[in-house]
Structure 1
């Protein structure tokens, strides 16, 4: 199985995609309202406790999480060196200023990025794009023209990767742009752009011929329904978000982002 494909064997995959999307909203909104390490740490702890119940293979989770983990470490390291100074100063040299404030802010950013990214990884790793599109249109009543267009575009991402690989092999076999990485990249990117426009035009014509975007109510091959366990999933996310706010306010670390 490709690391980019959703895992249908995961236990969370049986939940409605709309419920999983709604479950990520309270966690994300809570973390975006405050930038303190306590609320982010409580949310991250709750996510880690629930992570084994998702049923995702550890290897798949690592392959999808390590770029975000690396980005979180880089962002927190930059904050340690160049964050807003406050409290005791530990080191200062030019623009570098390491202090209590920069260390606390760096920890908050690290925990915050991880707490936001891990639920998003679970959502993407256990959700089929077609099921998500069905739920968005049938349950949330989003415009089907927009949802189906986005679904079609998402389905073509894999084809773009294959096209890029085939273009590389074809140009190498013909001896085109053997030297000069920048020129080779720009030429190949332009060729891929032309292929994408041609495929998009054909896809738009085919979808219009099949009645996509036509006026009137459309039918759906697979109905999307919410079940009681979907409500339980959303309730758990709300409880974790409320606990993070309550604990952060109780210890006095809750800090609205617009007060920084």
Structure 2
């Protein structure tokens, strides 16, 4: 997985999401989810590690499925009819498809994007996609500062608690801390921009300490992504479950 360029990972994530976005059937989404999960385990993620990262999806998927079951398209046998709330065979089928789709979209993102080093991604964006270096490096600096914001938030919480202000009026405490953190962010961003200008960032053509190139592993990865998408759509078409959006 480390041999795949970060830019290629983004392209693969887009390619794997296309079959899920353009269809509404459950079979194509199920094949995408199962195959992507299997590839993740085969590439060394481990079943336990993947399941831990899928916990947020276990919260989102039921909410989306229930909403679709209650307010989805009405067709076939109607099980419940309470005005706006109609549960039918069609809405239940759509709910199942939506439930699986959340995992089909989430697993590739977890597999491909959560393990990317921000610096490697910046190198790829600037050298492979030829995006402006000033924009790329500024974005990288912002990403690197997220950890500092988290530290600032914890420090603010400890300071207020030390003053005896931490356990009263939680809404007011959150708003006060959020405003203070915003002030810190503006000041730190101004200092960072000045420092980057002083060091010549964005002043002309740049050299890069670590070259970012595409190789054979990137070609193989893209072909595998295309094959997985074709397999999902082909299986859905063969078993007559294929449902293209808008059809």
Q: Indicate the residue corresponding to 2:206 in structure 1.
A: 218
Q: Indicate the residue corresponding to 2:153 in structure 1.
A: 164
Paired residues of 1:137 and 1:143 also in contact (CA < 8 A): yes
For residues 96-119 of structure 1, the C-alpha deviation after alignment (integer angstroms, 9 at most, x for no partner) is 211111111111111111011111
Q: Distance in 2 between matches of 1:124 and 1:160?
A: 22
SS in 2 for 1:211: coil
Q: Distance in 1 between matches of 2:24 and 2:137?
A: 36
SS in 2 for 1:18: helix
Paired residues of 2:9 and 2:113 also in contact (CA < 8 A): no
Structural RMSD (CA): 1.6
- The reply to whether residue 18 of structure 1 matches residue 7 of structure 2 is yes
SS in 1 for 2:19: helix
Aligned length, in residue pairs: 247
Provide structure 1 residue ranges, at least 5 long, that are not aligned to the other structure: 1-11
Q: Indicate the residue corresponding to 2:231 in structure 1.
A: 243
Q: Distance in 2 between matches of 1:58 and 1:38?
A: 23
- Closer, same or farther: CA 177–43 of 1 in aligned 2, 3 Å: closer
Deviation at residue 57 of structure 1 after TM alignment: 4.3
- The reply to whether residue 144 of structure 1 matches residue 133 of structure 2 is yes
Deviation at residue 177 of structure 1 after TM alignment: 5.7
- Closer, same or farther: CA 67–31 of 1 in aligned 2, 3 Å: same
Q: Distance in 2 between matches of 1:154 and 1:219?
A: 21
Q: 2:62 aligns with which of 73, 87, 112?
A: 73
SS in 2 for 1:125: coil
For residues 65-99 of structure 1, the C-alpha deviation after alignment (integer angstroms, 9 at most, x for no partner) is 21122101211122112212111112223432111
Q: Distance in 2 between matches of 1:53 and 1:211?
A: 44
Q: TM-score, normalised by structure 1?
A: 0.89
- The reply to whether residue 125 of structure 1 matches residue 114 of structure 2 is yes
For residues 13-63 of structure 1, the C-alpha deviation after alignment (integer angstroms, 9 at most, x for no partner) is 332212222211211122111121121112112112212123124444333
Q: Distance in 2 between matches of 1:110 and 1:54?
A: 25
Q: Indicate the residue corresponding to 2:194 in structure 1.
A: 205
